[in-house]
Amino acid sequence: MRNDLNRAAYWIAFTLERCQFPNREALAAQFANAEIGELCQCGCNSFALSMAAPDDVPRISTSGHGYGLVFEAHFRDLREPDESRSLEILLFADDSGHLSYVEIDYCGNGLPIPERMNLESAPYHLFQGDTVIRA
């Protein structure tokens, strides 16, 4: 599936609605105050973000830990019941604790994002890094 600004907007809404991030309000503020930058064209739907006014936005992660993964959620694709296929959403924060990259992969980025998926309503796997600021 082609990656563009509309797809990024779709994944932002999906992430806020279904990923169960522990501080949804801070994550929503991050997305609302971010500008979408690089859109990966490898077949995933990943995108970079930059904060317009980072000092005015609550952080999602404690600062001073460098760039890294802070959260991930995996959803099974029920369209492929005989195969183990999933969508993975990974959130990365920069050293200041602000969201800087959203990675959207299918089957561990082994396959391109399909045109159609039938995803479970809730993630079957969640990871929350120790630096995540919870609500």
pLDDT for residue 65: 85
pLDDT for residue 53: 83
pLDDT tens digit at each of 135 positions of the chain: 689 999 999 999 999 999 999 999 999 999 999 999 999 999 999 999 998 888 889 999 998 888 899 999 999 999 877 778 999 999 999 999 999 999 999 999 999 999 999 999 999 999 999 999 998
Q: How far apart are CA 129 and CA 68, in angstroms?
A: 9
pLDDT for residue 107: 95
Sign of CA dihedral 79, 81, 83, 86: positive
pLDDT for residue 84: 85
pLDDT for residue 83: 76
pLDDT for residue 29: 96
Burial 90-104 (b: 16+ CB within 10 A, else e): bbbbbebbbbbbbbb
pLDDT tens string 32-45:
999 999 999 999 99
